[in-house]
């Protein structure tokens, strides 16, 4: 009974023991650290290499850990975590470095020697220098570890079956990524490449993992006793995956049979002494060998699985025929199922070897016993079901059994796909959420990418292209938004909305805009404040004019005083004219007075305008309540606010505002997303280097902005509908407004109020401007007044000093004139006195002895008269000393010397001998500052007994001394003119002396003799 209902006693995939896992690839040790650091320092910078030294060391340590991995039930979780982390780092480096690292390290000591052995034939090894080869091998091992973890799951449990399905899909994703790394790579056609990582092998194993993942859904469907048709479709999909895997793996088998799939050096050749040289000569050439047994086992399992699940698809379809009581088709499908099961067993027996090929026995022996046993049990179940159905149809139903070709084949329904492992998911990707929900935390992408800052130039270029595309998307949305807003604004303006609704609010009271203007005018003081400001402006203008007149008076006083002094003293008044100093002040004052005149004219015009608007302004004196009562109204209960169209307009306007806000919010959200958008990581992980296309990344990223554009389009459509309804409601509203008889009266009343408010605002603005001008003009005039006042004070002080100097100069000139007159009179008196020549003894003519030197006349203390200069080439002349009896001396008393400031007189000369030798008459001689002639006889003594000078001019000398003393008292000190004809020695006068020295007197020959006072008279 269970057989007829489509539920075999022991299903083929009841436990995970019959699921296949892939073996790991082996690798040799290599120093990744040196090569990676050299490339980073060469291509980027030494600082960047030092910054990433820790990450590079982590990569090297992970590789060593991965190299020593052994898969077991106890170590499988650690293996998946380590392999996932290593694959992620290698993927990141390969995506960022590309082939540049191979070119930089080529030929250097740091060149990467990456050696990996075949997973199915460990003796076959491949050594390449490309980082992409390392990435493909690491991804393969990650897929192998994930497939091995499936064998540790308890598939009898629903959660275990789900986890196994996810592991298999991620394993398929890892193998698919490895295939993407191999496809198109320059090294993918290298004959040294092992067969397990060829493109065909990776695609076949990916299909094998997907077939087993589909089996998990198939088992779950059978356990849940779903309909036979549904289960048949799942089985058909499994058969399709197995067929794909078998086709790819057969091509790999054929390559291995032809001698490809890596370089193989037999161990005995390596150990043989005589064959070592020949072995080295064959280096680089592939050694033909039979396909490895594990590969053959995969081929035969895939082939057997395809046949067996085709049989299961027919079996479940037959169960569906039985439920519909179609026993003939049931028998036909079961007979076909028996044939397919037999073929599956035959494929298992063949061991995956090609027709006429070798290795079939080894391949059959390599098939897991659980798989062979499950296939045998499935064949027995199908045969029993076929025998039972044929027996029932033969003895009971007697339906014709149609040919199988007339029955439709079960349609495959695949529901699994390759998913990237959680460890390979880019930052921010959620593709690994399912695995983390199942407990897989080994490959958490949150560990981060240490090489995230190493962005290739190509990725930056692609990112700039994406940014330009994103800007275009945002610009189109913004332009669309502006078009909608402009269209709406035009429609609203044509309907005079929402301003037309003011008529509804103001049909019984002042409109809000007018009410605010009236309140502001009344708060400012109303019409009374205008009158006060008019008076204030007039008064301030008059004050300005008075201040300007006072400044002008100051300027006139200053210029008049200066002009009077110039007229009085003429050229002696050496002072700058006041008109030149006050020109700027007068110019500024004229400008200000012109402005004041214009302000007076403006005030007069403003007073006239205010008087003409008084009647309008009276409306502003009413309160708001009084104005509302003055508004014309229609009939009671006939206000526009009660109309239905008004309510409709209000609702539609609110809806339009909501639509506009929604559009603006959509655009703002799109721009906020764009500010955070960064596809650099996606381009690095999923670009061409990572097995994806740039266009796919762009399309996926730009698709995130489609919802915002859709919101804007929906808002535009809704707004068009609202505008259509608004036009209809506005037509009704307009008709109601025009039919209201009180509407023209209200509009006229509101117009009057508007004119009053406008007049108030205009007059107030002009008055405020006038007050501001008056304040500014007053400041200017006060500053100008201060400047003019300061100038007048400075000029008054200057005139006082100059007048004092003129008075002193006049007094000095008068004193010098009086002194000159006294001196001239003294000289005239001196010239009138002429002594007679001395008498000579008759008949005696003595020889004239040499004239004795005149006695030394003591000079003032500290005085050394300069030598007499020789003029005109004539020899210098010194007057001869007169005879003692003939010398006339003019002198002062001691008290007179002290009064004129002379130094005390030296002691008197000793008296000359009693009888001087006779001498001839001397020429005119200088003594005491008076030119005399020798007088008296030779026997007459020149001095008296007391040493006083004697002569006939004593009375005249007294008069001359008195005149000189008077002139010295009145004359101020004058500097001596150092000329050849006039010389005044600098007497050492005490500080209290104010009279100047006596002017020098000329002597014969044109020289100037220094003044020397005569010795004082001595009493007996």
Instruction: Give per-residue pLDDT as tens, 263-283.
Output: 655 544 444 444 434 444 444
Average pLDDT over residues 361-385: 90
pLDDT above 80 (res 877): no
pLDDT value at residue 350: 87
In which residue are the tokens 């992408």 written?
445
pLDDT value at residue 493: 87
Structure tokens at 77: 């979780």
| pLDDT cut 70: percent of the chain above it | 71
pLDDT value at residue 963: 59
Instruction: Return the H-helix or E-strand segment holding 126.
Output: strand 124-128
Q: Within a 10 A sphere around the Cβ of 942, how many other Cβ atoms?
A: 22
Encode 244-304 in three state secondary structure: HHHHHHHHHHHHHHCCCCCEECCHHHHHCCCCHHHHHHCCCCCCCCCCCHHHHHHHHHHHH
Whether the Cβ atoms of residue 603 and residue 770 lie closer than 8 Å to each other: yes
Whether the Cβ atoms of residue 8 and residue 381 lie closer than 8 Å to each other: yes
* Helical pair 706-738 and 644-676, crossing angle rounded to 10 deg: 160
In which residue are the tokens 């603006």 written?
664
Exposure of 28 in the CB half-sphere (CA atoms within 13 A): 15
In which residue are the tokens 């996810």 written?
166
pLDDT above 70 (res 284): no
Whole-number Cα distances in Å, 619 to 511, 607, 764: 15, 19, 16
List residues bridging with 931 in a β-sheet.
926
Length of the chain: 1020
Residues near 499 by beta carbon (within 8 Å), at least 6 away in sequence: none
pLDDT tens column, 698-728? 888 899 999 999 999 999 999 999 999 999 9
Task: DSSP for 815-851, please give it.
Answer: HHHHHHHHHHHHHHHHHH--PPPPP--TT-----PPP
Instruction: Return the H-helix or E-strand segment holding 391.
Output: helix 369-392
pLDDT value at residue 988: 40
Going by C-alpha positions, the residue among 203, 419, 235 that lies closest to residue 316 is 235
Q: Is the peptide bond before 954 cis (omega within 30 degrees of 0)?
A: no
Average pLDDT over residues 145-156: 90
The alpha-helical segments, DSSP class H, found in 393-511 are: 433-437, 457-494, 502-505
pLDDT tens column, 199-222? 999 999 999 999 999 999 999 999
pLDDT tens column, 407-422? 999 999 999 999 988 8
| pLDDT cut 90: percent of the chain above it | 28
pLDDT tens column, 795-823? 888 888 888 888 888 889 889 999 999 99
What gap in Å lies between CA 18 and CA 392, rounded to an integer? 34
Instruction: Return the H-helix or E-strand segment holding 41.
Output: helix 32-43
Encode 873-941 in three state secondary structure: CCCCCCCCCCCHHHCCCCCCCHHHHHHHCCCCCCCCCCCCCCCCCCCCCCCCEEECCEEECCCCCCCCC
Whether the Cβ atoms of residue 908 and residue 856 lie closer than 8 Å to each other: no
The residue with greater pLDDT, 568 or 419, is 419
pLDDT value at residue 191: 83
692-717 core/surface letters (b: 16 or more CB in 10 A; e: else): bebeebbeebbeebeebbebbeebbe
In which residue are the tokens 């554009």 written?
709
User: What stretches of 382-435 adopt beta strand conformation (E)?
Assistant: none
Residue 686, burial from CB neighbour count under 10 angstroms (0-12, 13-18, 19+): buried
Q: What is the DSSP letter of 127?
A: E
- Candidate from 90-99, 116-125, 523-532 with smallest mean pLDDT: 90-99
Task: DSSP for 128-187, please give it.
Answer: E--HHHHHHHHHHHHHHHHHHHHTTS-TTSHHHHHHHHHHHHHHHHHHHHHHHHHTT-GG
pLDDT value at residue 640: 65
DSSP 3-state assignment of 619?
helix
pLDDT value at residue 673: 92
pLDDT tens column, 749-793? 888 888 888 888 899 899 999 999 999 999 989 998 999 898 888
DSSP 3-state assignment of 115?
strand
Instruction: Please provide the average confidence, as pLDDT, over all residues in the chain.
Output: 76
Q: Quick one: residue 139, left, alpha or beta (phi over 0 = left, psi -120 to 50 = alpha)?
A: alpha
Going by C-alpha positions, the residue among 538, 529, 524 that lies closest to residue 607 is 538
39-57 core/surface letters (b: 16 or more CB in 10 A; e: else): bbebbeeeeebeebeebbe
What gap in Å lies between CA 86 and CA 593, rounded to an integer? 94
Whether the Cβ atoms of residue 951 and residue 817 lie closer than 8 Å to each other: no
What pLDDT band is residue 330 in, cutting at 50, 70 and 90?
very high
């Amino acid at each position: 009974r269970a057989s007829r209902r489509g539920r075999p006693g022991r299903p083929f995939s009841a436990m995970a023991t019959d699921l296949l896992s892939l073996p790991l690839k082996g690798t040799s040790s290599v120093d990744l650290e040196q090569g990676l650091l050299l490339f980073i320092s060469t291509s980027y910078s030494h600082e960047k290499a030092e910054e990433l030294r820790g990450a590079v060391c982590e990569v090297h340590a992970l590789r060593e850990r991965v190299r020593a991995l052994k898969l077991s039930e106890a170590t499988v979780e650690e293996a998946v975590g380590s392999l996932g982390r290593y694959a992620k780092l290698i993927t990141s480096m390969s995506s960022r470095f590309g082939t540049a690292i191979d070119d930089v390290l080529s030929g250097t000591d740091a060149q990467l020697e990456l050696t990996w052995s075949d997973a199915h034939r460990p003796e076959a090894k491949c050594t390449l220098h490309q980082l992409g080869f390392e990435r493909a091998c690491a991804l393969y091992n990650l897929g192998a570890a994930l497939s091995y973890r499936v064998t540790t799951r308890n598939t009898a449990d629903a959660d275990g079956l789900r986890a196994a399905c996810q592991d298999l899909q991620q394993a398929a994703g890892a193998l698919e990524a490895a295939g993407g790394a191999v496809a198109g790579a320059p090294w993918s056609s290298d004959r040294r490449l092992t067969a397990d990582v060829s493109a065909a092998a990776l695609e076949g194993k990916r299909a094998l993992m997907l077939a087993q993942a589909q089996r998990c859904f198939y088992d779950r469907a059978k356990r849940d006793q779903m309909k036979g048709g549904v289960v048949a479709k799942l089985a058909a999909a499994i058969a399709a995956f197995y067929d794909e895997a078998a086709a790819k793996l057969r091509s790999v088998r054929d390559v291995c049979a032809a001698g490809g799939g890596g370089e193989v050096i037999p161990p005995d050749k390596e150990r043989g002494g005589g064959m070592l040289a020949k072995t080295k000569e064959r280096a680089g050439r592939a050694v033909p060998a039979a396909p490895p047994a594990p590969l053959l086992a995969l081929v035969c399992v895939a082939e057997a699985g395809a046949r067996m699940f085709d049989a299961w698809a027919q079996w479940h379809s037959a169960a569906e025929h039985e439920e519909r009581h179609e026993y003939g088709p049931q028998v036909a499908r079961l007979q076909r199922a028996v044939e397919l099961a037999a073929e599956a067993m035959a494929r298992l027996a063949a061991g995956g070897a090609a027709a006429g090929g070798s290795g079939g026995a080894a391949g059959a022996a390599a098939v897991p016993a659980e798989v062979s046993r499950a296939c045998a049990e499935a064949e027995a179940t199908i045969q029993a079901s076929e025998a039972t159905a044929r027996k029932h149809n033969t003895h009971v139903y007697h339906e014709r059994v149609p040919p199988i070709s007339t029955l439709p084949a079960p349609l495959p329904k695949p529901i699994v796909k390759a998913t990237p492992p959680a460890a390979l998911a880019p930052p921010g990707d959620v593709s690994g959420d399912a695995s983390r929900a199942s407990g897989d935390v080994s490959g958490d992408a949150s560990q981060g990418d240490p090489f995230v800052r190493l962005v290739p130039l190509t990725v930056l270029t692609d990112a700039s292209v994406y940014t330009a595309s994103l800007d275009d998307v945002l610009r189109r949305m913004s332009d669309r938004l502006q078009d909608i807003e402009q269209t709406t604004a035009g429609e609203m303006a044509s309907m005079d909305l929402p301003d037309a609704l003011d008529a509804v609010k103001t049909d019984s009271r002042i409109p809000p805009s007018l009410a605010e203007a009236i309140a502001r005018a009344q708060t400012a003081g109303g019409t009374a404040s205008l009158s006060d400001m008019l008076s204030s402006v007039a008064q301030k203008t008059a004050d300005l004019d008075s201040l300007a007149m006072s400044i002008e008076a100051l300027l006139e006083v200053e210029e008049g005083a200066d002009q009077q002094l110039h007229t009085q003293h003429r050229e002696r008044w050496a002072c700058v004219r006041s008109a030149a100093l006050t020109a700027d002040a007068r110019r500024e004052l004229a400008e200000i007075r012109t402005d004041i005149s214009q302000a007076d004219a403006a005030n007069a015009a403003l007073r006239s305008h205010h008087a003409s608007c008084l009647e309008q302004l009276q409306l502003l004196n009413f309160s708001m309540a009084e104005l509302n009562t003055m508004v014309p109204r229609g009939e009671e209960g006939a206000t526009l606010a009660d109309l239905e169209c008004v309510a409709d307009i209000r609702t539609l306007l609110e809806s339009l505002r909501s639509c506009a806000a929604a559009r603006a919010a959509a655009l703002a959200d799109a721009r906020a997303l764009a500010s955070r958008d960064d596809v650099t990581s996606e381009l690095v992980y999923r670009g061409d280097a990572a097995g994806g296309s740039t266009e796919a990344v762009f399309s996926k990223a730009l698709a995130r902005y489609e919802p915002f554009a859709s919101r804007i389009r929906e808002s535009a459509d809704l707004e068009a509908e609202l505008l259509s309804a608004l036009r209809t409601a506005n037509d009704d509203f307009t008709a109601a407004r025009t039919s209201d008889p009180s509407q023209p009266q209200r509009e006229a009343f509101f117009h009057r109020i508007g004119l009053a408010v406008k007049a108030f605002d205009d007059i107030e603005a002009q008055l405020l401007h006038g007050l501001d001008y008056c304040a500014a003009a007053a400041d200017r005039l006060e500053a100008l007044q201060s400047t003019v006042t300061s100038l007048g004070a400075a000029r008054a002080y200057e005139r006082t000093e100059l007048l004092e100097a003129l008075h002193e100069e006049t007094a000095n000139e008068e004193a010098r004139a009086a002194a000159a007159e006294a001196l001239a009179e003294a000289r005239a008196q001196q010239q009138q006195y002429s002594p007679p020549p001395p008498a000579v003894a008759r008949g005696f003519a003595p020889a004239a002895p040499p004239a004795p030197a005149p006695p030394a006349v003591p000079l003032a203390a500290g005085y050394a008269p300069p030598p007499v200069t020789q003029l005109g080439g004539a020899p210098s002349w010194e007057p001869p000393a007169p005879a003692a009896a003939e010398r006339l001396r003019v002198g002062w008393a001691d008290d007179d010397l002290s009064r004129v400031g002379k130094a005390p007189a030296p002691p008197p000369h000793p008296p000359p001998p009693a009888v001087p030798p006779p001498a001839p008459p001397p020429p005119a001689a200088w003594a005491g500052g008076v030119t005399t002639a020798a007088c008296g006889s030779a026997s007459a003594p020149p001095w008296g007994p007391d040493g006083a000078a004697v002569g006939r001019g004593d009375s005249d000398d007294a008069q001359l001394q008195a005149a000189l003393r008077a002139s010295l008292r009145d004359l101020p000190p004058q500097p001596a003119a150092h000329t050849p004809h006039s010389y005044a020695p600098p007497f050492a006068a005490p500080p209290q002396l104010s009279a100047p020295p006596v002017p020098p007197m000329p002597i014969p020959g044109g020289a100037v003799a220094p003044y020397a006072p005569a010795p004082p008279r001595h009493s007996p």
